[in-house]
A and B are shown apart, each in its own frame.
Chain A
Amino acid sequence: ETGVTQTPRHLVMGMTNKKSLKCEQHLGHNAMYWYKQSAKKPLELMFVYNFKEQTENNSVPSRFSPECPNSSHLFLHLHTLQPEDSALYLCASSQDFIGFGLKEKLFFGSGTQLSVL
């Protein structure tokens, strides 16, 4: 148990659907992240929030919309996705932004496996 919980574990959606992924961390961390894991590709950073403020948008298409209402919760809203968006979406947190301190490390959730039909 890492202290980072993601729901749902699996999601199948059509290209016209709207759905949301949820992440909650119980660690008292200030930074939260969304990562995408596509087949045979490295983990790819999508968004970073530090103290609820978005500090990084890694050129992610607007059909992915993040929301961070407080430092414990992070959402990823999905709409009009494409089949190539099918992937594992991982949430992570760290005490402070990973680049701020030499001892910072990421705590990951188990991910949401997304299939877009």
Chain B
Amino acid sequence: ILNVEQSPQSLHVQEGDSTNFTCSFPSSNFYALHWYRWETAKSPEALFVMTLNGDEKKKGRISATLNTKEGYSYLYIKGSQPEDSATYLCALLMNRDDKIIFGKGTRLHILP
């Protein structure tokens, strides 16, 4: 069974601080990795689609890196703001034409 592991499960960060969390996955047969942000009572929203080893993507204060050889991706948030409070989901496609497998997410709480 394919496992996409996210750590930590939950994280409390002071407003203004920077933070990062991890998505780990099997390194064989990698096709694509997605990051989604899911705010409470809203829809999950795509942040990044990453496909190449060494990929770095950025959207405002949020960025992500990808290492397919060792099987991990990091999501970084710089200068956390209250609106960053959400669950961050990582999802993996192992092969073309395959289904996407989600991790359980990292729940981020920004403390004022």
- Which residues of A come within 8 Å of B, CB atoms? 2, 4, 40-45, 48, 56, 58, 90, 97-100, 102-111
Contact = CB atoms under 8 A, between A and B. Distances in A.
Interface stretch (B31-39, B56-64, B66-74, B76-84): B31-39
Q: Is the interface of A mostly helix, strand, loop or mixed?
A: loop
Interface residues of B, number: 27
A14 B26 CA distance: 41
A110 B41 contact: yes
A98 B95 CA distance: 11
A45 B100 contact: yes
Q: Is the interface of B mostly helix, strand, loop or mixed?
A: loop
Contacts of A41: 104
Interface in B21-47: 31-32, 34, 36, 41-46
Given A42-B4, A42-B102, A110-B43, A105 B96 contact: no
A98 B94 CA distance: 12
Interface of B: 4, 31-32, 34, 36, 41-46, 49, 51, 89, 91, 93, 95-105
A66 to B, nearest CB: 15
Given A43-B89, A43-B102, A99-B31, A106 B36 contact: yes
